[in-house]
Amino acid sequence: MTALSPPKNSSGKEAKSVAQKEANGVSLNRGYPAPAALATPTDLNPKDVKAVVEAINPLVADAFALYVKTKNFHWHLSGSHFRDYHLLLDEQADQVFATIDVLAERVRKIGGTTIRSIAHIAALQTLEDDHDDCVTPYQIAQRLIADNKAMAAAMRKAHEIADDSKDVATASLLEVFIDETERRTWFLFEISQGGEHHTQ
């Protein structure tokens, strides 16, 4: 039996701080204030716009990271349940990807700017990438459960900020995405019942 390794991400505790990333040469535009030509008018208070933009942009970065990680596992999965897990991970990756444009455009609608590059994603993401050569189905489920839980927690914090800022549209979107994230966690939890041997 393969020894289990811990989830790669997951709460962001292992992620580099933004300050460290900036020191390593990534000039980070936090998204607000935007250049005049990109400053979409809004009735929201500028202080509130800044708070929402700085809460949402890391979610966009983490969605990119989680999408790639889920597709990585979708492509490199092995085992007797290959077809079922392969299709499930594809479905989950598509769902994560669908949140990216919605969240990024929400930032633009209220007068902020969003992700511009792979380096920008790396600077803002809190979820760890996964470079392991081969991960068992059980480990895949456990790592993605941890990442989705971390995403849900970050979305709840962003929802609180949106609520406090009276940005009801952003809060409403996040409610839907939190539900979707919890559904992904649920499915991953269920397929991992029984442990390492059961999921092979």
The boundaries of the domain holding residue 43 are: 18-198
Query: How distant is the alpha carbon of residue 92 from its chain centre?
Result: 12
pLDDT band at 66 (very low <50, low <70, confident <90, very high): very high
pLDDT value at residue 135 = 95
Rounded to whole angstroms, the maximal C-alpha distance in the chain is 59
How many other CB atoms sit within 10 Å of the CB of residue 109?
13
Residue 76 lies in a domain: yes
Q: Whole-angstrom Cα distance, residue 118 to residue 31? A: 15
Percent of the chain predicted with pLDDT > 90: 80
Residue 179 lies in a domain: yes
Q: What is the per-residue pLDDT across 164-176, written as a single tens digit (0 to 9) for each? A: 999 999 999 999 9
pLDDT value at residue 194 = 79
**Statement: residue 199 has pLDDT above 90:** no
Q: Is 153 exposed, middle or buried, given 0-12, 13-18 or 19+ CB atoms closer than 10 A? A: middle
Q: What is the per-residue pLDDT across 23-39, written as a single tens digit (0 to 9) for each? A: 455 556 679 999 999 99
Q: Give the count of domains, the chain.
A: 1
Q: Under a CB-based contact definition with an 8 Å cutoff, are residues 126 and 62 in contact? A: yes
pLDDT value at residue 43 = 95
Residue 80 lies in a domain: yes
Residue 13 lies in a domain: no
Q: What is the per-residue pLDDT across 178-188, written as a single tens digit (0 to 9) for each? A: 999 999 999 99
Q: Which of the pair, 195 or 152, is modelled with greater confidence? A: 152
Q: Whole-angstrom Cα distance, residue 9 to residue 13? A: 8
Q: Which two tokens stand for residue 94?
A: 């598509």
Residue 143 lies in a domain: yes
What mean pLDDT comes out for the span 76-101? 96
Q: Under a CB-based contact definition with an 8 Å cutoff, are residues 65 and 130 in contact? A: no
Residue 70 lies in a domain: yes
Residue 71 lies in a domain: yes
What mean pLDDT comes out for the span 97-123? 97
Q: Residue 52 belongs to a domain with what CATH number?
A: 1.20.1260.10
Residue 3 lies in a domain: no
Q: Is 31 exposed, middle or buried, given 0-12, 13-18 or 19+ CB atoms closer than 10 A? A: buried
pLDDT band at 22 (very low <50, low <70, confident <90, very high): low
**Statement: residue 53 has pLDDT above 50:** yes
Q: Could you give the C-alpha distances from 89 to 53, 72, 130, in angstroms and in order?
A: 29, 9, 15
